[in-house]
Amino acid sequence: MAEYENIETAARHRDWQGCARIMFGLLYRCMTEEQRNVARAALYKYLEIWNTKHKDALQAIPEQVLANGTKGKRPALPEFPEDLDPGDAEFENGLIEFYNGAYFVTSHSRRTEHFATAIRSAVTARQINKWLQEHPNDYVKWKAGRGIDGPTFLDDEAAADEAQMMWKFVDDLLKKELLHPLSRQLHRLYKRWEESVL
């Protein structure tokens, strides 16, 4: 297993586990608000796809989960339909993980796990959705329990391109959040210290 220096390089080599491993390490270095920002932005990349597929009350589900983060009272987790296609089901998983990371008090490492899973699900949802678009007949066969003729979503080139684009997006988000994390944290700590000695 090759070790890559950054997410973008791992994505270029189609090493999705490598992307996730590097992302987790970078995300762990972020503060809660920064983790939430990255996870929310990654999930929002699926929102247009979700809204195109669902022209009814289901359109409100992602916003109910993604709005506000930890501000105020925890909203009830919306009911998801049981017959979602695999891309939407992966997105649902990401929303639930985001909800668990954003609305429950837990350790930093556990929160990182929730937000990292939300990010990985956002990427995978887009990858699966691209495969569904490229191979609708194979999806029908798969859903019926029959074998498929073409590649799986992990082997499809268009789906891999989609995943690569999403991992690059996540990499850019993390770079932005980590640009000056220490200076932001030190500023907050200094402010708190300054107020305590006055």
Query: Residue 147 has what pLDDT?
Result: 72
Query: Cβ distance 114 to 37 under 8 Å?
Result: no
Examine residue 134 and state whether it is found in any structural domain, yes or no: yes
The structure's pTM equals 0.85
Examine residue 161 and state whether it is found in any structural domain, yes or no: yes
CA gap 81, 95 in Å, rounded: 14
Examine residue 1 and state whether it is found in any structural domain, yes or no: no
CA gap 109, 132 in Å, rounded: 34
Between the alpha carbon of residue 131 and those of residues 26, 92, 154, 158, 187, the distances in Å are 28, 18, 9, 7, 46
Query: Residue 183 has what pLDDT?
Result: 45
Between the alpha carbon of residue 75 and those of residues 42, 55, 97, 141, 156, the distances in Å are 21, 23, 14, 38, 38
**Structural domains of the chain, count:** 1
Query: Cβ distance 153 to 127 under 8 Å?
Result: yes
Query: Residue 125 has what pLDDT?
Result: 97
Examine residue 2 and state whether it is found in any structural domain, yes or no: no
CA gap 159, 130 in Å, rounded: 5
- Residue 138: how many other CB atoms lie within 10 Å: 20
Closest CA to 68 of 99, 108, 93: 99
Ranges of residues in the chain whose predicted pLDDT is under 50:
70, 183
Examine residue 190 and state whether it is found in any structural domain, yes or no: yes
Examine residue 68 and state whether it is found in any structural domain, yes or no: yes
CA gap 71, 116 in Å, rounded: 21
Backbone angles phi, psi at 47, to 5 degrees: -60, -45
- Residue 187: how many other CB atoms lie within 10 Å: 11
Token pair, residue 22, equals 């590097």
| pLDDT tens, position by position, 24-60 | 999 998 888 899 999 999 999 999 999 999 877 777 8
Can you spell out the DSSP letters for 41-75?
HHHHTTHHHHHHH--SGGGHHHHHHHSSTTSSSPP
| pLDDT tens, position by position, 182-192 | 545 655 666 67
Question: Which residues span the domain enclosing 143?
Answer: 7-197
